[in-house]
Each structure stands twice: as structure tokens, then as C-alpha cells.
Structure 1
């Protein structure tokens, strides 16, 4: 990854394209932000931890003209709506909007208390995605261009033991983006669904099970940005996990259940990993 002083990390022009990215303080969101910065894009970065984003911007050598920071929580619709409206007022209409914010932790489906944990996952991963897109849809339609990017997961293909909240949320995210793509057909606004496999981030660091085809976050971001530029409707990264996803879809239940028997489960919220 080029450093901020590397000539390949071109500074953004005033007329450079703009990317609005949620969940940008860590993980996939931050990796995507770094990739777009290297390509000379302007950035509108959203996270609950605004101070973390400020430190990251300084470390990257980006100025406020290239990178605006909006402290907001996608799980609170009015919070992300305010951030989107501020972006429109201060930076203009983005060319790309990426709903990358997401949370993941294990769920015990027999425990009443875990209903709130499940609700928290859905509120962030699903309602947060919709709330991120809605403020930009009408102006993008009016302009006749733009790309909305939803980050799903291979985990949304089938339900994994101990992951009921997360798997359900990602299955819903994939279906939501597909529905949105149909709604926007012919408008000039593209919808891209990106389903990561295993990417090395703080989220996957707690997984107590093997993670085949694990890739680094910057490698994921490089491939994702290319897919977004091509406006691919659906992409799995890395490509090997696309074959895994296809296999998961066609496995009969008895074989799927046997294959996952004894597999480690992600820790529940507050549970040590």
C-alpha cells in the first residue's frame, strides 16, 4: 500500500469523484477508504468513533479538503441521515456510496437475553444499510448516475451454527440489495453487492475456527474497488469463496449439517474469545 508521500497516492482535485463510506474507522471500510484515497478520490467517511477517523486521516497525510469526517451511528437512522445531509451540503452528491458498517457476534438461539443482541445486529447491518442509501437515492436518480454498494457476506448464503443473527442479517442484506437493484433499473443508478469471504480484520480475529482463503484487508479493497468501478451487480471476494458459496447452496441438509458438526462458534456478545 503506497504511503501518503508516494507519487502513486495522488492528491484529490476539487472535481475528483467522491466516495461516501460507513464503518470507515476500521476493517473493510477503512481499507476501502485507503484504496480510494490512493486513487485520488475525495472521501466522506462515517463512523461512530470520529476521533479514530481523525487520527487515521492525519496518519494518511490527508487534509480536510480531501477527507471529511462525519461522526454518526448507522444504527440510529436520524444520525446517519444527518451525516448524509451534511455530506450533500458540504461536499456534494457522492459518486459511490458504500454501506460497510457492520457488527458480528455469536448468538445462542435458546437464550432469551440474546434477542437484544440479534436486534442490535439487524439494526446495524440491515436498517443501517437502508438508512445509508435512502438520502442519496433521489438525488442520484435525478442526476442519472451513481453506485450504491452493499457489503454482504458469504455467511449470508446459509445459516451457520451459533451465527443466527449475523447470517440472517447478511442474507437480508443480499436480498435487500437485489430488490433495490430492480427498483433502480433503468435509472442510471447501479447497485453492487459485495460478499466477502474471510478477510483479516478485528472482526474475524475472534473466530475460533479455520478460515479458508483468508485474505488481507487491502487485497480485498483492491478487488472490491475494481468490481465497483465495473458496476458488477454481485461479486464474491476472494473468487475461491464464490465456489464455496455455490457448493453451500446445493448441499443437501443432511450433508451440510454433518459438515458443520463440531465447528467452533463465534463468541457471544461479552463472552471471551
Structure 2
């Protein structure tokens, strides 16, 4: 049975908390029909039940690294919503990693699988439907951490840099099909993920404020946007900073907490 959509039909991964939940709430306020994918079923049910037009929304408990589950969710949502307008690959994890520590290698692999490969697996099942419609928007959630490599965070920085570059390539590929590709790079957003950071986070923003700005950017047809704008300025400065100066300034920068503790320096 097809659901009647009052607004855009939006599929979001990592929807149970943080940025994903805030984006869901924002789109629901605009009358969207939502497909919400995340690992925690209870949290998804609670979120969906709290949103306007809760009967329009569908939840899909699953891990984004389970590509078959993503494909099944995409097929179901397209069928029940009668199409797809926006897909947001938001699911992500963040841990500190050190190359010389063997225990960190599987952590590095998990970061790449969740933040990069799962973004591809999220978008892929929706592209055929978007081509048939002649429109649609794919949104990759990157990070300012992907602008330059950060000490102790090589896995996370590499994954988010990969998301930026991948989305740029995909944008060129999808152009002739009428499919837009948008990259949103959050700065520091107050979520369970960033609360693990034991250092000062400049321009810290609530998920709700971030979601409002992100939704406006997506609707406005941007290709790449850093939110908040202050971190966009910082990102541009970091991009232009000569390597020698960058190395001098950031070699002793605060580091993300590592998941594996054995042999920690």
C-alpha cells in the first residue's frame, strides 16, 4: 500500500539519535514521509512515534554494513512512499586510531566500512528510482575533520575526506540523470559521538540548529556546505595553510579517544 506523501519522501540512515534524529524531526515538521534506518529499534520506534504524521513514517532496524538490509529497506520505502526524493547517508562512527597499534586496524576498517562503503551502499539502491523519476537528491554527511588529516584520527579523517571526494565524483556521474548530490560537512555538533571528545570544540552547535541549516542548504541546491559557517571559514584557512605551518600548528593537537586501549601510548 502506498503512503500519501504531503511533503518530500526522505530516507535517513543513522536516524535514531544525534544529527539523524534532528534531521528526521525537521523534515517531519515540513510534512515529509520518512524512512528511518538505524541499529536501535526501540529508539527508532520512539522517534517515529514522536514525529508529526507518525503513521506516514517507516522504521528499518539494521546495520548500514549489512548491505542487503539497506537494499531491502530501500525497496520497501520506494514502494510504500511511491518514490523517493531525498536520501541522506548520515550513519557514521568515530574513534581515534594509531597505525602502529595492531589492535587499531579492525577499528580503522570498521570506520571505513561504516562511513564510506555504507554511504555507497545507501545511495545505490535508490538511483534507479531517481533516474526513472528524473529527479532526486543524494546527501552525504562528511565532516570538517576530512579537510586535513588530524593526529590520532587518521581513520576518521580519511573516511570523511573519502566521503567528500566520492560525493564529488558521484555528483558528476548523476548530473545527466537530473539527480543532485549534496555534501554537508558538519563542524562540532553536540551529539553522543562528539561528547566523547575531551577537548574544546569551537562553534559547538545543537543538532536542531544544524538540522535547520542543513535542510535549507539541501533545498537551496548547494553542492557542498560546511555548517556552521564559522567552521567553513576555518576549513578554508586550513585548506590553504602550507604543509610546514600546518605540521607545526597541529602536530600536538588534541586526539580522539581510541576504542582499543591495549598498547596505548
TM-score range, shorter chain: over 0.9
- Bigger CA drift: 72-81 or 171-180? 72-81
Q: Does 1:121 align with 2:87?
A: no
- Bigger CA drift: 254-263 or 152-161? 254-263
Structure 2 portions without partners, runs of 5+: none
Q: Give the alignment's TM-score, normalised by structure 1.
A: 0.91
Q: Residue by residue, what CA displacement relative to the aligned partner does 1:198-257 show, whole Å, maximum 9, x if unpaired?
A: 111111111122111111110000000001111211111001111111111111222112
Q: In structure 1, what is the equivalent of residue 124 of structure 2?
A: 134
Q: Distance in 2 between matches of 1:123 and 1:26?
A: 20
Choose between structure 1 and 2: higher helix proportion: 2
Alpha-carbon RMSD: 1.6
Q: In structure 1, what is the equivalent of residue 101 of structure 2?
A: 111
SS in 2 for 1:185: helix
Q: In structure 1, what is the equivalent of residue 81 of structure 2?
A: 91
- Residue pair 2:28, 2:52 contacting (<8 A) in 1 also: no
Q: In structure 1, what is the equivalent of residue 195 of structure 2?
A: 205
SS in 2 for 1:113: helix
- Residue pair 1:209, 1:263 contacting (<8 A) in 2 also: no
Q: Residue by residue, what CA displacement relative to the aligned partner does 1:132-161 show, whole Å, maximum 9, x if unpaired?
A: 000111110121100000001111111000
Q: Distance in 1 between matches of 2:63 and 2:90?
A: 12
Q: Does 1:50 align with 2:41?
A: yes
Q: Residue by residue, what CA displacement relative to the aligned partner does 1:83-112 show, whole Å, maximum 9, x if unpaired?
A: 111212222321100000000011012111
- Bigger CA drift: 201-210 or 170-179? 201-210
Could you tell me which of 16, 19, 26 is aligned with 2:10? 19
Q: In structure 2, what is the equivalent of residue 219 of structure 1?
A: 209
- Residue pair 1:236, 1:242 contacting (<8 A) in 2 also: yes
Q: In structure 2, what is the equivalent of residue 6 of structure 1?
A: none
Q: Distance in 1 between matches of 2:27 and 2:171?
A: 23
Q: How does 1:53-64 map to 2 (within 5 A)?
A: 53-60=44-51, 62-63=53-54
- Residue pair 1:101, 1:124 contacting (<8 A) in 2 also: yes
- Residue pair 2:84, 2:129 contacting (<8 A) in 1 also: no
SS in 1 for 2:60: strand
How far has the Cα of 1:69 moved from its partner?
Answer: 0.3
How far has the Cα of 1:270 moved from its partner?
Answer: 5.1
- Residue pair 2:5, 2:81 contacting (<8 A) in 1 also: no
SS in 1 for 2:83: coil
How far has the Cα of 1:61 moved from its partner?
Answer: 5.5
How far has the Cα of 1:13 moved from its partner?
Answer: 5.5
Could you tell me which of 17, 21, 25 is aligned with 1:30? 21
